Homo-oligomer: A and B are copies of this chain.
Amino acid sequence: MAESSWLERPGLDKAAGEEFLREAFQVLLDEAVRKGTDVTEKVGETRRPPARWWGGTERGSLPDRGRIPFPPSPQVCDWKEPQELRELLDLELRSSGELPERLLERCRDVIRYSVKTCHPRFFNQLFSGLDHHALAGRLITETLNTSQYTYEIAPVFVLMEEVVLAKLRELVGWSSGDGIFCPGGSISNMYAMNVARFHHFPESRQKGSWALPRLALFTSRESHYSIQKGAAFLGIGTDNVHLVGTDERGKMIPEELEKEIQRVKAEGAKPFFVCATCGTTVLGAFDPLDGIADICQRHGLWFHVDAAWGGSALLSSKHRHLLTGIERADSVAWNPHKMLTVGLQCSAFLLRDTSGLLQRCHGAGATYLFQPDKFYDVTYDTGDKTLQCGRRVDCLKLWLLWKAAGTEGLARRVERAFAYTRYLAKEVKRRDGFQLVLEVAPAIKERMMRKGSMMVGYQPHGARVNFFRQIVTNPTVTKDDLDFFLDEIERLGQDL
């Protein structure tokens, strides 16, 4: 085609595009939203299990395993080995485009072989479940496709982010402050470390670490690994992360923190930052914030709370006592995409500061984006508070969910999750044989994945062997699903 003819016409067919979008939405509604959340739905073809599933080597060598279930109905995942899946998907990118029918087939396959994280028997991660209102917010976000840097380009979302962050701060116990949504809790934690460093040593921004004494930061040995990653990335070094001892429930021991600070000071390093955790990743422990706050105050250290997982407990008047003292923090990381089913990613970094520290720490004032001669109040151009340039809109999904459920509805979700945890703990104690299970977690996990009936994470912990970590925040989970979880572990592990 000659170039001149291009110039007269759009480069894509809008009507055909809209038709495709409509059909793709129907596919995702049927295959992902409806079937993906239905415990009675059988997805995937009916099939004999591969012989290797049972440790057999020949076709038809299936031994009699009594109550061990035959796996015809993957629901949560349809497990394929990487090579097999690669062949099924035909991922290669070629010169020519494909027809809409073929593309819709591809959409179906992508959904089919993906894990249904919205399924009531998906317990594998700290996020799970699907909230339809939050999802609607996400679809609108994707369609509007703007970047959260200036009022000019994201007027609705600049104001909305302000309101949502203020509401989260209010739950923390602050009537003022600052904040920003970050691409995940790890980066929120890193923001905290960087702002703390800048607060103590403003010259760090220009001169780097060479101008500073050797810094030291403190977190419990149960804390999230992003603290280590952050220390490496920020040029602080993992050797300067001091892991403080915890009690048998996984909570930081304040006396150990005090001792560690003294020791590090005596060695000539400069403590500047303490990270407490509310909801540790493996055990779900809440550090004693008041005791830690006292120590931070005494030594003049920045007090950060990583409440990525546990922050949502602040919504419940019944459970918010777990975070007593959080109002004394200098900064908080809180991921509503976990317990509140908002959808990846929605991670708030909150600050008590009202002096513009975040902006001074991160701002670069690029004149092509943050022109000072704009015709409106440029304090609404909040994008320079971040490390990013383009930044996704993460507030709409949480805002729409909140408008739909109300604070009360969100509180009830949190309370459900705690109630289920109690139920499950009681049931595990009641059932014989669950101690035994702990030693065979990887084998049971393999059987569960190949069957696709449910997903739950496992990990070792200190000297303890591998065990399952069960998470029950998905609002569609009921007692039946938890009973299924326990029964299924018994079934899968019976012969081990």
1/0 contact string of A139-170 vs chain B (CB within 8 Å): 11011111100011111111110011001000
Q: How far is the CA of A220 from the CA of B176 in the complex (A)?
A: 40
Contact B127 A147 (CB under 8 A): yes
Categorize the interface residue count of chain A: 35 or more
- Residues from chain B with a CB closer than 8 A to the CB of A429 are none
Given contacts A92-B163, A107-B400, A387-B186, contact A419 B205 (CB under 8 A): no
Contact A160 B91 (CB under 8 A): yes
Q: How far is the CA of A205 from the CA of B240 in the complex (A)?
A: 10
Known pairs A10-B475, A211-B237, A281-B366 / 13 extra A-B pairs, C-beta < 8 Å = A7-B419, A8-B479, A11-B412, A12-B131, A32-B143, A82-B377, A94-B407, A95-B407, A97-B408, A110-B156, A153-B455, A204-B237, A226-B389
Q: Which single residue of chain B is at the shortest CB-CB distance from A11?
A: B475
Q: How far is the CA of A204 from the CA of B210 in the complex (A)?
A: 13
- Residues from chain B with a CB closer than 8 A to the CB of A215 are 208
Q: Which single residue of chain B is at the shortest CB-CB distance from A235?
A: B235
Q: How far is the CA of A207 from the CA of B184 in the complex (A)?
A: 26
Contact A28 B143 (CB under 8 A): yes
Q: Chain B nearest CB: distance from A265 CB in Å?
A: 17
Q: Does A48 contact B (CB under 8 A)?
A: no
Among B25, B146, B237, the residue within 8 A (CB) of A207 is: B237
Q: How far is the CA of A32 from the CA of B89 in the complex (A)?
A: 32
Among B127, B140, B233, the residue within 8 A (CB) of A32 is: B140
Q: Which single residue of chain B is at the shortest CB-CB distance from A397?
A: B142
1/0 contact string of A435-474 vs chain B (CB within 8 Å): 0000000100110010000010111100000100100000
Q: Does A225 contact B (CB under 8 A)?
A: yes
Q: Does A64 contact B (CB under 8 A)?
A: no
Q: Which A357-397 residues have C-beta < 8 A from chain B?
A: 361-362, 364, 366-369, 371, 373-377, 380, 387-392, 396
Contact B146 A142 (CB under 8 A): no
A-B contact pairs, 12 of them (CB 8 A): A28-B143, A32-B144, A79-B155, A82-B158, A103-B133, A117-B153, A185-B390, A186-B388, A186-B390, A204-B235, A208-B237, A375-B442
Q: Does A231 contact B (CB under 8 A)?
A: yes
Q: How far is the CA of A206 from the CA of B110 in the complex (A)?
A: 40
Q: Does A409 contact B (CB under 8 A)?
A: yes
- Residues from chain B with a CB closer than 8 A to the CB of A73 are none
Q: Chain B nearest CB: distance from A443 CB in Å?
A: 8
Q: How far is the CA of A420 from the CA of B146 in the complex (A)?
A: 23
Given contacts A156-B89, A185-B389, A345-B390, contact A442 B478 (CB under 8 A): no
Q: Which single residue of chain B is at the shortest CB-CB distance from A168?
A: B93
- Residues from chain B with a CB closer than 8 A to the CB of A388 are 183-184, 186-187
- Residues from chain B with a CB closer than 8 A to the CB of A98 are 403-404, 406
